[in-house]
Amino acid sequence: MSKSEDRSPERISEAEHAVMEVLWERGTVTAAEVCDAVCEKRGWSLPTVKTLLSRLVQKQAIETRPDGRRYLYSPIMQRADYVGTESRRLVNRLFGGKAASLVAHLAESEALTEDDLAEIEALLKELKQ
C-alpha cells in the first residue's frame, strides 16, 4: 500500500455513495430530505438512511449538528476529492497504477465514443502545454 493510500479516507460503500450524492448536490440536509431523494428509488426506509448517515459521520465524510429535534448533515469530503481517490484506487487495483492501461482497455473494448476520444485528445494537448 502506498503512502497516499494510507492517508485516504475510509472506503465508502455504494449505498453510502448514493447518500453522498444527495449531500453533494444539496449541501446541508436532514435525514428525511435524503430519504425523499433516494428511498423510493432504492427501496430504503428512513432508518436505513439514518444508518448510512451515521456510518458516513464515523468515516468523517460528513458532519452533523443538531437543529431542534432533528439533525442536519453536511458533506466534509468534497466530490472531486472522492472521485480522485476512487480513480486512483481503480487504476492501481486493476491496471497496475498505469492510467494509460485503463484508456487502452476502454479503447480496445470499444467503450470510448468519438466524442470521448476527442475530449481525451483535447485534454492531452492541454496537459502538454
Residue 25: Cβ within 10 Å count: 11
Backbone conformation region of residue 3, classed left if phi is above 0, alpha if psi is from -120 to 50, else beta: alpha
* Distances 58 to 51, 54, 95, 99, 109 between C-alpha atoms, Å: 11, 6, 31, 31, 39
- Local structure of 67: helix, strand or coil: strand
Mean of pLDDT values over 61-80: 95
Q: Which residues pair with 63 in a beta bridge?
A: 74
At 9 the pLDDT is 58
At 5 the pLDDT is 41
* pTM of the complete model: 0.73
What ranges do the domains of the chain cover? 12-75, 79-128
Mean of pLDDT values over 79-102: 86
Kindly give the pairing relationship between strand 70-75 and strand 29-30.
antiparallel
CATH placement of domain 79-128: 1.10.4040
Assigned CATH class of 12-75:
mainly alpha
Q: Tens digits of per-residue pLDDT, 8-54?
A: 457 899 999 999 999 999 999 999 999 999 999 999 999 999 999 99
